[in-house]
Amino acid sequence: MKILLTGATGFVGINAVNYLKKKHEVVAFLRDKSKAKVLNGDVEITIGDIVDKESIDRAIKGVDAVVHIGGLINASNLEKLYLTNRIGSRNIAQACIENGINNIVYISSLAARGPDGFQNPVSHYGCSKRLGELEFIHRCYNGNLKIIRPPIIYGPYDKGCFELFRMAKRGILPKLNRRYSFVFIDDFVKAIEKLLNLETSRPEIFYISGSKAKTDRINRALFNAVSKSGIEIPIPDAFIGVFSLLKFESKVFSKDKIREIRPKAWTCNNDKLFERTKFKPSVEIEEGFKITARWYKEHGWL
């Protein structure tokens, strides 16, 4: 199978390319050619931008399937966020229709659903991903479209969870009364391949979860992963509410991220994924965090 993969030099993209190229021909779609070295060869490189429809049209010629990973997670520039995650998805979907591509996997996010008990996003990031889903559904309603909404993904090359590992290495972690689903990157890219091999006659939405854990278990797994004892600092819910009112913002604690931190739980299950593909993630956070910490150390991150 010849697969066009967008967002090829991001965390998920790097791991997906390196896994899929073992069995498939991969065309890596990226904006910056200088970053292609992280893909370790054996991959066709094409340069472009998902907000540039012409570059997508050039890249998509002759492929059998598309895995759309490319997008933004930082909501500091809302115009750019929605342009990339919504209009970029529209461009990919339209190019698939115009070129007869009828095997599409769109990497969305649990944020597009919202927290447990919600059926709507609570952040701009979540809204932008939901709109990206709708752009695909609108154009590919009668096609072989699979949308997957992962929770927190972690593993080698991940910068999103890296700060938690660094804090654990320093011996201190925040303690919140929260519950989250996690999925290790190796399990996630295996699920992508399973969805590529799945035939559907209409759009279908899937979830994936390797572990469901409260923050006390998460923190224990983090400390163990870096072979460090430490302390947990309780963060009251009232403090989170006050923080959201402050004018100060950072990438880690932006108002958009605070909107996602406030809910008590972000979890999901594998029921439909297993029913349709017979695949279930096998890596729990205790093992996955150790593998991730080892990679960080070997590559000089920790």
* Per-residue model confidence as pLDDT tens digits over 151-177: 999 999 999 999 999 999 999 999 999
Low-confidence ranges of the chain (pLDDT < 70): 239-253
The pLDDT of residue 248 is 47
Tell me how far apart the terminal alpha carbons of the chain are, to the nearest angstrom.
38
Cβ atoms of 210 and 151 closer than 8 Å: no
Q: How far is CA 11 from CA 14, 100, 227, in A?
A: 6, 29, 25
Domains, the chain, ordered by start: 2-158+184-211+267-282 (3.40.50.720)
CA neighbours within 13 Å on the CB side: how many for 106? 33
Per the confidence metrics, is the pTM higher than 0.75?
yes
